[in-house]
Amino acid sequence: MSSLDILADRYLNYLTFEKGLSKKTIESYSIDLSRYLQFLSRKKIKNIVDADTSLILKHLIALRDAGLGSRSCARHLVTLRGFYKFLVQEKVLEYDPARLIDLPKSGLKLPDVLSVAEIERLLKVPDTGTLLGKRNAAMLELLYAAGLRVSELVNVKFLDVNLEAGFVRVLGKGSKERVVPFGTHAKKKIEDYLNIARPVLLKDRQSRYLFVARAGKPMTRQGFWKLLKEYAQRSGIKKKITPHSIRHSFASHLLEGGADLRTVQVMLGHVDISTTQIYTHVAREHLRQIHAKYHPRG
């Protein structure tokens, strides 16, 4: 019996003899723990210390993708939270990684995400042989590369982008500023747009916004939504595609690639990928290295 199995048995015995839970409830907890331990085994995790918050989240997303309903996922999270709380109580762990994952009253709602292949299909749709196609391709690349909200994307200023360093400065919710790295794919698309399309679209006008529409004004959120809807239809992808689903895909792909949860939180400027409430300072150079290493288009 592995050390993980032993810990699971200790927890189930605790629920049986100290908490006095019913046989049916114990069976339910046992099934949930068994699925989690199987997941850890597939990930080559042999020590519970190595199972962090991001790994728990990946497991929950995998359950959702396997067809488990939101209520069942929520129940599964309850099991894992109880298990980890017990391990801290027994001093097996110093901290509880499951406590970082919130449980909404309506049940656990995990984000809809596109696969890496689907994202790449979508990014290839804009016709970069046209001026507007160059602009739209650059917008889509930056949206995914930096995990931006649509309101943040359309309000990016020309001076907010540092192409040499590969960063974009973003003003998020609550006027909180963050700096997010982006990869070479986005850099090339933005350079192409800036060198060829933007000067022609401006027609000798001046604009402080990076992505311009008519008369040098920024594109509206509604305008970008309309564009994305059109590109989604042309891509042939059956899933519902919104700017926010692309943002969720950015976060999920980084986590699936091995990035740690707190670093992704900093890049998002929000906690909606796991509804956690912890913010950690991470150096910009470290963010850039993490993005380059783990983002599919880094």
Q: Do 258 and 147 share a domain, yes or no?
A: yes
DSSP summary character for residue 180: E
Which residue, 67, 100, 133, sits at the end of a domain?
Answer: 100
Residue 108 counted as domain residue: no
> Which positions are catalytic?
149, 173, 244, 247, 270, 279
> Environment class of residue 81 by beta-carbon count within 10 Å: exposed (0-12), middle (13-18) or buried (19+)?
middle
Identify whether residues 94 and 7 lie together within a single domain: yes
Which CATH number characterizes residue 284's domain?
1.10.443.10
How far apart (Å, rounded) are the C-alpha atoms in residues 56 and 58?
5
Q: Is residue 107 part of a domain?
A: no
Q: Cβ distance 179 to 123 under 8 Å?
A: no
Q: How many structural domains comprise the chain?
A: 2
Q: Are residues 276 and 164 in the same domain?
A: yes
Q: What are 195-243's pLDDT values in tens digits?
A: 999 999 998 899 999 999 987 888 898 999 999 999 999 999 988 898 9
Domain assignment present for residue 88? The answer is: yes
The CATH number of the domain holding residue 54 is 1.10.150.130
Query: Do 137 and 59 have their domain in common?
Result: no
pLDDT of residue 52: 86
Question: Looking at the DSSP assignment, which residues form a beta bridge with residue 176?
Answer: none
pLDDT of 110 reads 56
- Which residues span the domain enclosing 152? 116-294
DSSP secondary structure code for residue 166 in this structure: T
Say which residue, 175 or 115, is predicted with more confidence. Answer: 115
The pLDDT > 90 percentage for the chain reads 50
Q: Is residue 110 part of a domain?
A: no
pLDDT tier at 260 (50, 70, 90 boundaries)? confident
SS3 47: coil
Higher pLDDT, 274 or 259: 259
CA distance 258 to 241: 24
Which pLDDT value is given to residue 142?
97
Beta bridge partner(s), residue 58: none
The reply to whether 208 falls in a domain is yes
pLDDT digits (tens, 9 = 90+) for 58-86: 898 888 888 888 778 888 888 999 999 99
Q: What is the pLDDT of residue 68?
A: 83
In a domain, 31, yes or no: yes
pLDDT at 284: 58
For residues 249-270, average pLDDT: 79
Residues whose CB falls within 8 Å of the CB of residue 164, separated by 6 or more in sequence, listed in order: none
**pTM of this prediction?**
0.65
Question: In this structure, are 210 and 271 located in the same domain?
Answer: yes
- Asked which of 49, 69, 100 is the last residue of a domain, the reply is 100
Residue 290: is it exposed, middle or buried by C-beta count within 10 angstroms (0-12/13-18/19+)? Answer: buried
Q: Answer with the residue of higher pLDDT: 5 or 20.
A: 5
Q: What is residue 271's predicted lDDT score, i.e. its pLDDT?
A: 45
Does one domain contain both 20 and 130? Answer: no
Answer whether residue 134 is part of any domain. yes
- Tell whether 13 and 153 lie within a shared domain: no
The stretches of the chain forming alpha helices (DSSP H) are: 3-13, 23-42, 53-65, 70-89, 116-123, 131-146, 150-154, 184-192, 198-202, 221-235, 243-257, 261-268, 284-294
What's the chain's average pLDDT? 85
Q: In whole angstroms, give the CA distance from residue 155 to residue 161.
A: 12
Mean pLDDT for 270-282 is 38
**Average pLDDT of the residues in 169-187:** 88
Supply angle C-alpha 154, 159, 162, rounded to 5: 100
Only one residue has tokens 């929520």, namely 74
| Residues 138 and 72 both lie in one domain | no
CA 178 to chain centre: 16
One domain for residues 171 and 267: yes
CA distance 281 to 294: 19
| DSSP 8-state symbol, 204 | T
pLDDT digits (tens, 9 = 90+) for 120-150: 999 999 999 999 999 999 999 999 999 999 9
Which of residues 100, 132, 147 is at a domain's end?
Answer: 100
Residue 276 has pLDDT above 50, yes or no: no
Do 206 and 136 fall within a single domain?
A: yes
Are 59 and 164 in the same domain? no
Residue 72 domain-assigned (yes or no): yes
Say whether both 134 and 265 belong to one domain.
Answer: yes
| Residue 104 pLDDT exceeds 70 | no
